Structure 1
Amino acid sequence: MDQPPLPLSRFKVIDLTAHRAGPTCVRHLADWGAQVVRIEPPAGGDRDAAAGNRHGSDFQNLHRNKRAITLDLKSEEGRAVFMKLAAQADVIVENMRSNVKFKLGVDYESVAKVNPRIVYGSISGFGQDGPYATRPGVDQIAQGMGGLMSITGLPGQGPVRVGIPIADLTSGGFLAQGILVALLDREVTGKGRWVHTSLLEAQIAMLDFQATRWTMDGEVPQQAGNDHPTGIPTGVFPTADGHINIAASGQVLWERFCRAVGLDELIDDPDYKSRESRSKNRRALNARIAEWTARRPAAEWIDLLTEAGVPCGPIYSIDQTMSDPQVEHLGMARPVAHPVLGEIRLVAQPNNISGFSKDIRSATPELGEHTDEVLRELGYDDAAIAALHQRKVV
């Protein structure tokens, strides 16, 4: 039975992005069927140096399910080609420094003159206006300014970055969500919108309850290491053969945990009886639990606690994660055929929508692979295409 068209297959997207945040946004759209045309400079250069070599794993994971063309947006002819594409598009996504798109003449207002229905998505480091608008911004800068590095790591360790580019990834996800909201609005109003976010805004949004500890309670969160900052006991505990995560912070879970592991006496111990007392005596409690969990292997504790309904789990390296039976069942590593690299496996889209496959349909294209094809779709004949190549417009 043939699969129906993917949910976003009716939308045409122009991808002007580079590095990671913007491509992450477009990947969300492309994975669900959007017709994406990625525009890159004819010379290539180091525009995507942050994602590494074109045939490297990072670049391949970012730009699958797209077509690719080259186009010199700094030239008058290149902008003319771009505007022809924009006139037919539903969405444009860019993550240039906030003022660059205006210099190139490919900003929202310029595009809206030829296509008032366009939904134009932008990601910048710090916002489209304000005192830092034109500053260059990358993920780690946002992690620092957004407060994340002050609450990551062991107490007293000093600032620590998170092990993934979380501001890039979340800003890309938030922008994709905003674009979809604007497309839904367009179905009612017929009007396009400029949707924009920044690494800084995304990072602050991701602070979530840690931020409201300050905005509501006036409390400045500190580093808590592997312990949950407010739910105790939740953290990493030693076993006879490694470590495990245990989350037993609520009263019901706390009592289940104590009974399951044979520490029943802690339930009525005044030092640990309530959430407040457990928080106050966190170090002593963690030491008591650690002394107990170190006596048996991780797998035994996981079986025992799972049976008791207490959240727990192993702490994997990435190779162990990808070979876990549940991860394999979820199909989080999906194969795709690449004309140069052969069959490769990339990280799957995390959403599951009934009736649709989340298989990766096509590998990341080569530089300019679809240039001539897209130009023909815009009405250029072979002679005109050859002339554009000769003048290095494409």
Structure 2
Amino acid sequence: MTTDRLLERLAELAPQVRQLAAESERMARLSPELVDGLFERDLFRLWVPRSCGGHELSLPDALRVHAAAARLDGALGWTVMIGAGGGLFAAWLEQDVAQEIFGRPESVVAGSGAPTGRAERVAGGYRVTGRWRYASGAYHASVFTANCVVTEDGTPVHDARGRPLVRAMAFDPAQVRIAPAWDTSGMRATSSEDFTVEDVFVPERRSFSLAEPPRESGPLYRLPFEVLTELPVAAVGVGIARHALDAFASLARGKTRGDAPLAQDPLVRERFAGSAAHVKLAEAGLERLADEAWQAACDGHTLSPGERATITAGAITIVETVRGAVDALAALAGMNAIQQDDELARARRDVHALGAHASISPLNLAAAGAALLDPPAAAGS
């Protein structure tokens, strides 16, 4: 299926999203109708390998889908982005295991990258105990993945560089207990709940490490996982900002200030033009970063520390830019900007929640700046 066709099928959901987004936010989970619509349109399989029946979209094309979904609703866009991103893991599993986990139309991952579990080595696999946070899409996941520190006789195992060995484990939903803890101001409908497992056996073949070479050879799976996190998160931010522009334009045409529509106020026009320009520039920057990273992967080029730092700094700056653009619109919207069911208010809450994600935290700028300022290592050193 082409990316354009996926976008067309996504657009078909727009009436349902408008009808159900506020209810989904109140429930703190996407309505079953919207989840079913995403499954029916194959939108969680963007990065599942073709060998498992997935789309294996390019990075730029996947970002188009993420942004389009977030333009309908921020939580919907985040849910698509996270669910589709989990399809990457199939590339690190044996073919039959990947097919078992990801080969069905209703396959979708929820999970956590934080190594807050312990996986004790036993014959044939691991016995795992742990609790993890922020598993977006927990209530509709067909599989949960989570990073664990590997132990032997209760003692952490170390890798070749002397660091604790971390492996991801794949759990069936029946092995997992969802621990409701997601109570936020924005992105509420993502149902990013905690989950726990207690002394669960995981076969070796259902564990994997992104530090190892992937089984699949496509360029998508050669890109660093950080790049495949930072740019998708930024794409959702751009989509939310587009939603805010749409919502504000509709509001400004119908809301009056004095005897005239808000849209006729000179200051409103000036600020709207500025916000629209900032979002457009952020979108263009995102496209440029994605195109360059994708071309490098297709050429077999490993991104240098400086190139990776440029992507990190770029993603952070994109999110900061669109968040500022949305805030500028909200400042002109009056009481609408704080109403629970208002679309602009929801977009604002969502873009601020997105900005709290660790992958695009401003705290990452120092390391990015160091990589850009430090001289490259001499060849052979």
Q: Normalised by the shorter chain, which TM-score bucket?
A: under 0.3
The structure having more radius of gyration, on CA atoms, is 1
- TM-score of the superposition, structure 1-length normalised? 0.23
Which structure carries more helix by proportion?
2
- TM-score of the superposition, structure 2-length normalised? 0.24
